[in-house]
Amino acid sequence: MTKPEQPEPAPQPAPQPAPVLAPKPAPADAAPAGTTPVAEAELRASDADRERIADLLRDAYAEGRLTMEEHSERIEAAYGAKTLGDLVPLTRDLPTHRPISMEKPPLRQPDPAPAPVPRPPARQEAPTMVAVFGGAERKGRWRVGPHLRAVAVFGGVEIDLTDAVFESPEVVIEVTAIFGGVEIRVPENVSLHGGGVGIFGGFSVREQTAADPYAPVVRVKGAAVFGGCEARPRRGKKLREWARKQLDF
């Protein structure tokens, strides 16, 4: 007699691996492992912190709130303080006491630049200057055109172009000096050229060429008979109203 067949056991499911949990991210402001936050009072004091406390102590001494001995002791302690906590007791009993803070005070805004002072308008002058047994001068803010004539007979003529407003890129000055003299001054940043004839006299033009090719050019010519003419740059004086702006070239 045969034994009945035994049923085969059902297959067992394979064991599943345990899920791996991702570590939670540390908060951004968390202190690194193994460190503890430093209290504000334990932070190192800067030279600016010490100087600020010293200023408060000087004010308090000037107001009579501190005696000379107290002021001296606290000043010494302020400059010798190592931490912010060392500075707190020095002004705690003063009305000007402020809590020590690491926040930087806002930067002081610069004062606005003063508005430019308007310059007076330039004068319109005649193109001819004459001095006979006397003198004639022209200086300050005046308009000089392309041609100017100076005549000195037993007298003197002074022409100062250092503050003049040039209306032409080239100015020709024609000089006639008879028993007299003509003196011409130009800014140091313009070109000066020319020359003349001296008969029993002198005619001197101290020539120069400006570094800027657009600078105005002053040319001096003429004659001096028993007299003199001198034209030269005036050091330290520069043309304020640049010719290229006035003449649009």
Instruction: Write a three-state SS string for the chain.
Output: CCCCCCCCCCCCCCCCCCCCCCCCCCCCCCCCCCCCCCCHHHCECCHHHHHHHHHHHHHHHHCCCCCHHHHHHHHHHHHHCCEHHHHHHHHCCCCCCCCCCCCCCCCCCCCCCCCCCCCCCCEECCCEEEEECCEEEECCCEEECCEEEEEEECCEEEEECCCCEECCCEEEEEEEEECCEEEEEEECCCEEEEEEEEECCEEEECCECCCCCCCCEEEEEEEEECCEEEEEEECCCCCCCCHHHHHCC
- Asked whether residue 145 falls in the same domain as residue 224, the answer is yes
Count of structural domains, the chain: 2
- Asked whether residue 242 falls in the same domain as residue 169, the answer is yes
Q: What is the pTM of this model?
A: 0.50
- 21 in a domain, yes or no? no
d(CA 155, CA 175): 13
Give the residue-averaged pLDDT of 90-99: 76
Give the residue-averaged pLDDT of 151-173: 93
CA torsion sign for 203, 158, 233, 127 is: negative
- Asked whether residue 133 falls in the same domain as residue 80, the answer is no
- Asked whether residue 177 falls in the same domain as residue 234, the answer is yes
Q: Could you list the residue range(s) of the whole structural domain that residue 48 is in? A: 41-91
Residues 131, 155 contacting (CB under 8 angstroms): yes
User: Is the per-residue pLDDT at 243 higher than 90?
Assistant: no
- 4 in a domain, yes or no? no
- Asked whether residue 145 falls in the same domain as residue 191, the answer is yes
Read off the pLDDT of residues 114-151 as tens digits, 9 standing for 90 and up.
Answer: 766 666 677 888 999 999 999 999 998 889 999 999 99
Rg (CA), the chain: 44
- Asked whether residue 80 falls in the same domain as residue 148, the answer is no
- 23 in a domain, yes or no? no
- Asked whether residue 78 falls in the same domain as residue 182, the answer is no
- Asked whether residue 138 falls in the same domain as residue 52, the answer is no
- 72 in a domain, yes or no? yes
- Asked whether residue 168 falls in the same domain as residue 228, the answer is yes
What confidence score (pLDDT) does residue 176 get? 95
